[in-house]
Structure 1
Amino acid sequence: MMFRFGTACLLLLLPVLAATAQTGVKNDTIKVDKEQYDLFHPTPRKYMRPMVPDRPGITESPYSVDAGHFQYETDVVRLLTRRDGTTHGRDWYINHALGKIGLSNRTDLQVGLDSYTDTRNYDDADPSQNAVYRGVGDLTLRLKHTLVGDDNSRWALGLIGYATLPTGGPRGDGAVEYGAVLPVVFQITKPWNIGGQVATQVYWDRETRSRYLQLTPTFTTSYEVVKRLQVFAELVGYKDVRQSQWGSSINTGLQLAVSDNVQFDLGTHQPITNSVDHEYFFGLSFRR
């Protein structure tokens, strides 16, 4: 069933990618050559594109940060809970942040840091396995490039490559991890967008001391209910290639734009399959 879901997500994205390539949308719809701007020659504020953070869902944004400008996105607080038989646990994330700087009109550099995590794992059948971990987590370096579409164009396609460095010690994942993401978005009407992504991640398994591949296809839709208030729903698949079964979740929430440069969000990730955590979050994004 989840294999069909993953395949369906890919099939839904293929027409979007094909149509994007066929329409040949230019980089900018405004009548200014923004390729002249870079890190040291920032894009004038009157020419900046709308702010579209990579949060709050799993689906990334295909839009890069304008050249010479900074954007900050963070989980102010996020709670994850899980249970599997006699084992259960929860994580508190505090300020898991992503900072971005626009290098050019289409490309930005991103640095992510898991600022503080409190993890507690319990085993009712064997209390000696109970464990508590607290502290700063790993550091992630990312590079995003908008391949097609920008500013007010209806289509956009991006590419993100990243590597996570094991700076968190016992709190982190324990080894270098890396991956790539291909996000896409299409504006059906002025208030209604659909999108999704295909993503591959190479993770490290501490217990087996080996790497494994995970695939994460998504499909998402958002709707602007009133000016500056959006709601979204997202279907996510998780495929650990070592396993025969898919995991999945449905994610919902809202985004409130306080201004053109400040947004708040809150929502939840609810599992469809038992292998996925319950999540509840409140986040903030701003730029300058």
Structure 2
Amino acid sequence: MPRFAANLSMMYTEHDFLDRFAAASADGFTAVEYLFPYAYDATELRRRLDDHGLRQVLFNAPPGDWESGERGTAALPGREAETRSAITRALEYAAALDCQRVHVMAGLVRPDATPKEPAEHRDTYLANLSWAAERAAVAGVDILIEPINGRDMPGYFLNGQAEAHAVVRDVGAPNLKVQLDLYHCQIVEGDLTATLRRDLPTGRVGHLQIAGVPDRHEPDRGELNVRHLFGVVDELGFDGWIGCEYLPRAGTSEGLGWLNDYRGDSA
């Protein structure tokens, strides 16, 4: 049966952030993910996890100046030192939180980029990811990369599943993996069942995420047949986590009928 992690950056926002751990646990979650831990001391986050019987399964490395619109630096030439410092900081938090997955964001490419610049971005990306994977391996951590749709994040360097898997193959590190967000994948290319059946057996997918399409609300709201997709994930024996990275329509707990029904049918 698939295992679900609450995304505390999007869910339970009716509570202060540090109170979201208790709320997720009360709804039966045993794991959490979120965007960034860095506004909080790692020991406080560790205490919240322990107090509520939760596992930390994913967070992002520092993404540059998020408030000014940056969305990662790993594919940006000239930002290598900053990228590697961010990864070092992320691995420190990963050790404190016993988190085995860190997502490294690629960054935004300028719309006026010259024809040769995409190759320069990719070369920078590969070099930074190789550096990150080597250091993360010592700590037992997987580095993840995620294709993101251009509607939600225009200009993001990495958009497609095939592109992400090519990056993983080219780097050649066993702990560099793809974060397959079914919401983004549906918007960019669709064909989710075939994508799961093609990519999960490769071992290159380290984490899944889900949200309803097109509005990013509960997974059962919109065009996805999530019960079918969960069945495919189960059939393929995926042993990772599915992050619930969605925006509840009207209260997080009130919108968990889809998950409670699935848990009941799978019991």
Same fold (TM over 0.5): no
Larger Rg: 1
What is the TM-score of this pair, normalised by structure 2? 0.31
Q: By percentage of residues, which structure has more strand?
A: 1
